[in-house]
Amino acid sequence: MVEDQILLQECNHDGVFPQPQLRYIKESEEIRLALLPVELIKRVKEIEHEVYTEPETAQKKDTKQTAAVDLSKRLKDFHSLNDATSLKGVSLFS
């Protein structure tokens, strides 16, 4: 931050830096970029992407499971209702 202020003070009025300052700026930027943990940043983004996509898959499975349980229950209720109706019919004819 202080270095940036010093560089700005040394800047010409037309906004052009002298050659040594330009070289210093470029070298500083190269060093800063070289120190970035690029591979780590990529891996973190991959992990974040995995975390955000997995719940959707789990949610779809839960929805399918819920639908299957609901269908099974409805079929059991339907069979129970049919059994009760058939028993009433048998008792009417007996």
CA-to-CA distance for 25 and 32, rounded, in angstroms?
10
- Under a CB-based contact definition with an 8 Å cutoff, are residues 26 and 17 in contact? no
pLDDT reported for residue 71: 81
Please write the tens of the pLDDT for every residue from 9-66. 555 566 778 898 999 999 999 999 999 899 999 999 999 888 777 666 666 667 778 8
pTM (whole model) above 0.85: no
Q: Is 1's pLDDT higher than 70?
A: no
CA-to-CA distance for 54 and 57, rounded, in angstroms?
5
The number of domains in the chain is 1
pLDDT reported for residue 67: 84
Q: Is 5's pLDDT higher than 70?
A: no
Distance between the two ends of the chain, CA-based, in angstroms? Answer: 99
Indicate whether 26 belongs to any domain. Answer: yes
Q: Residue 8: give the domain boundaries.
A: 1-36
Indicate whether 73 belongs to any domain. Answer: no
Classify the C-alpha dihedral 72-77-79-80 as positive or negative. Answer: positive
